[in-house]
Structure 1
Amino acid sequence: MKIVSQVKLLPASTHDADALAATLRACNRAANAASEVAFAKGLKRRNVLQDAVYHRIRADFDLGAQAAVRTVKKVCDAYATLKANLRAGNCGPEGSKRRARAESRPIRFRETAAQPYDDRILTWNLDQQTVSIWTLAGRLKGVPFVCSSEALQLLACRKGESDLVMRDGMFFLIATIDIPEPPVSQPDGFLGVDFGIVNIATTSDGQVMSGRQVNRYRKRKRDLRSKLQKKRTTSAARVLVRQRRKEARYATQRNHIIAKKLVATAERTSRGIGLEDLTGIRQRVTAKKDQRARLSSWAFAQLGSFVEYKARRAGVPVVRVDPRNTSRQCSNCWHTHRSNRTDQARFVCKSCGTILHADHNGSRNIAHRADAVWQRGAVNRPRTA
């Protein structure tokens, strides 16, 4: 399986940092020029587009041969991704409008957008934790990088391209890691996981991972942004820039921690993981005005993807189930009625009298459904050991 590992570059001088920044700007300007040709002439295939723009972008933007090749490939990959996304999301009038807007203009790249590097223009020295990287100012040798010990071990399995990224004046390399995927073990039951906003995740074992801390953090950040935007001063603008992405990074870290706990629990107890298939829930759910921000910032898709890739690394099967009525169905007698859930946190079965935490009851239903799907033979059922 393929995962990514991120390292932070530490340029030795301002000259080196300026060279990296100038290289990103030049590559992305060249990508914009190539994108305009690809859009105007319909040249979306790599070899055809490369014949049309290779010499021009090398001369106009002072790119090296391999940097120009990587830039053309980046443009072609962007158009291929756009086409796939439009095909997947072209549903109804809104999908048709999005498709029309996307097809009416060429793709544009930010000046600090990621630039792919291959082994000809980027060399790793893992023993000394340095890289040698091509720039417009020549090849920078011995540029140190820092990362965790786990990331350094993963880099030994690095394969393919690495992306140079600039964020908030700092430089990062994101490498693709190809590691062997263990066979999926035969599960002895399933750990059901109910995703929510008040409680980020609740397991069928009764473990509740509250979202109170994350929700309070998000509210504090929203209030701060609103306060700064009303000031309209230069200092307030600087603070807003510093605050960018902090909320997203915080939520991502929490999701990583929760996903790791869920996978570790399932692996320790030799079970699989059952998750709800929440695709399209934002379109199906109508939220009150004061709840829209919380619903739109709910990172359930990210948490689900983290659980899935960590489970694959551990050989733990993951099954997605239909979430319909999981919060209204009794996990003991299967009686289903909307009045069973008396409020957000309380479930009382009108048939058998079972009283449970509502999210715990829902996660138990998810576990039952995941086990049933697995026994029938899930469509995406992986190879078992």
Structure 2
Amino acid sequence: MKLVVQVKLLPTPAQAAALATTLRACNAAAQYTSRVAFERNVKSRNELQKLCYREIKDRFGLSAQPAVRVVKKVVDAYTALHAGIRAGYLGGERSRRRVKAESKPIAFNTSSAQPFDDRCLSWRYDAGTVSIWTTAGRLKGIGFVGSADQLATLRAHRRGESDLLFRDGGWFLIATCEVPEPEVFEPADWIGVDRGITNLATTSDADNFQGRRLQRYRRWHGRKRVELQAKRTKSAKRRLKARARKEARHAACVNHSIAKDIVAVAQRTGRGIALEELRGIRDRVRLNRHQRAIMSSWPFHQLERHITYKARRAGVPVLLVDARYTSQMCPRCKHTTRSNRPTRDTFSCRLCGLAGPADVVAAVNVRDRARRAWVLVNAPVPMAA
């Protein structure tokens, strides 16, 4: 499986200036190439390279290999855009987002990430440095730092290109790693996971990962966002973008922590992980006006992705089950009604009297559905007569 490892560069002021000049030149060349691709409707990488290669080298001062990387970067951007349009991510044919995306060339700002292959960038793992091509010549001995796990993964599994990125006043390299996947084991049982807003994740073992701190953090950011939006200045817009990135990083960190704990328990106990299938939930539920913003910012899909990829690395099976009525159905007698859940936090079966925390009951139902689904998946196929 593919993973990305991000390390922070520690350039000197002179090296940082050379990197900044290089990144500006590469993105100016990408902007020019994007305009040519859009105006001439060129989708082939070879064809676009024939049109722009000489101009990129002469006009923007790039050498041969960086010029090729710029062309590939532009072609990949248009490929991703067209794939998103075909998948419907930008709406229908007449939607505002799609019309806007199709009416102008893709733009690259001065700090957009630039890919470098092994001919432009080399790693010295023992020394903790990299050597990278710039418009001012080859820079050697640029230090980099990262966590011990990141550096071990980088040393053992790095493959292909590395992206140079300037963000929030710092320089970073993002490297692609090909990590082998262990064989998925046969689960002895399942851990059901119920995802929610108040409790981000609750397992059938009654482990509860609350989301109240994350909600308070987001409400605080929301108040600051309103204050900055009222100013309507360029500085306020820059601060809004930085604050949005900070909030997203915090939510991702919380989800990483939850996913790591759940996968660790599943791996240690030899069980699989069962999750609710929540795709399209916004189309299936009706929300009050004050709930829409909470639902839109609810990071349940990101938590699912984190659990899935961490489970793949650990060889833990993951199963998605039907999410309907998991919080209203009694796991003992199967009686299902909305009145089984008198409040958000409590469950009390009107037929058999089973009571308990509502999220734990939902997680148990998810676990039971995974058990039944796994039996059906692994049932022997009857022989034809």
Give the TM-score of the pair, scaled to structure 1: 0.92
Query: Are 2:164 and 1:164 aligned?
Result: yes
Query: Are 2:317 and 1:305 aligned?
Result: no
Which stretch shows the higher mean deviation, 171-180 or 224-233? Answer: 224-233
Specify the alignment match of 2:252 in structure 1: 252
Which stretch shows the higher mean deviation, 47-56 or 83-92? Answer: 83-92
Cα distance in 2, alignment partners of residues 154 and 188 from structure 1: 30
Q: Deviations over 1:116-145 (max 9, x none)?
A: 111000000000100001112211110000
- Is residue 33–residue 71 contact of structure 2 (8 Å, CA) maintained in 1? yes
Write the mapping of 1:288-367 to structure 2, written as runs, cut at 5 A.
288-367=288-367
Distance 1:90 1:211, change over 3 A: closer
Specify the alignment match of 2:381 in structure 1: none
- Superposed displacement of residue 6, structure 1: 0.7
- The alignment's C-alpha RMSD in Å is 2.2
Cα distance in 2, alignment partners of residues 288 and 365 from structure 1: 27
Q: Tell me which amino acid in the other structure corresponds to 1:320.
A: L
Write the mapping of 1:94-243 to structure 2, written as runs, cut at 5 A.
98-156=97-155, 157-230=157-230, 240=240, 243=243
Distance 1:177 1:101, change over 3 A: same
Which stretch shows the higher mean deviation, 82-91 or 248-257? Answer: 82-91
Cα distance in 2, alignment partners of residues 51 and 327 from structure 1: 60
Q: Deviations over 1:303-325 (max 9, x none)?
A: 11110110001000111122111
Specify the alignment match of 1:263 in structure 2: 263
Which stretch shows the higher mean deviation, 190-199 or 29-38? Answer: 29-38
Question: 1:331 is paired with a residue of what secondary structure?
Answer: coil
Distance 1:266 1:112, change over 3 A: same
Specify the alignment match of 1:381 in structure 2: none
Which stretch shows the higher mean deviation, 290-299 or 145-154? Answer: 290-299
- Is residue 189–residue 371 contact of structure 2 (8 Å, CA) maintained in 1? yes
Specify the alignment match of 1:10 in structure 2: 10
Q: Deviations over 1:2-53 (max 9, x none)?
A: 111110001112x211221222222122112111222222211211211111
Cα distance in 2, alignment partners of residues 226 and 356 from structure 1: 40
Distance 1:187 1:98, change over 3 A: same
Structure 1's unaligned 5+ residue stretches are 379-385
Distance 1:245 1:321, change over 3 A: same
- Is residue 92–residue 98 contact of structure 2 (8 Å, CA) maintained in 1? no
Q: Deviations over 1:194-218 (max 9, x none)?
A: 1111000000111110001111111
- Is residue 90–residue 96 contact of structure 1 (8 Å, CA) maintained in 2? no
Specify the alignment match of 2:56 in structure 1: 57
Distance 1:287 1:95, change over 3 A: farther
Specify the alignment match of 2:66 in structure 1: 67
- Superposed displacement of residue 91, structure 1: 9.5
Structure 2's unaligned 5+ residue stretches are 379-385
* Percentage of pairs with the same residue: 54
Q: Tell me which amino acid in the other structure corresponds to 2:41.
A: G
Cα distance in 1, alignment partners of residues 230 and 90 from structure 2: 38
The count of residues paired between Structure 1 and Structure 2 equals 377
Cα distance in 2, alignment partners of residues 263 and 318 from structure 1: 10
- Superposed displacement of residue 238, structure 1: 7.5
Query: Are 2:242 and 1:276 aligned?
Result: no
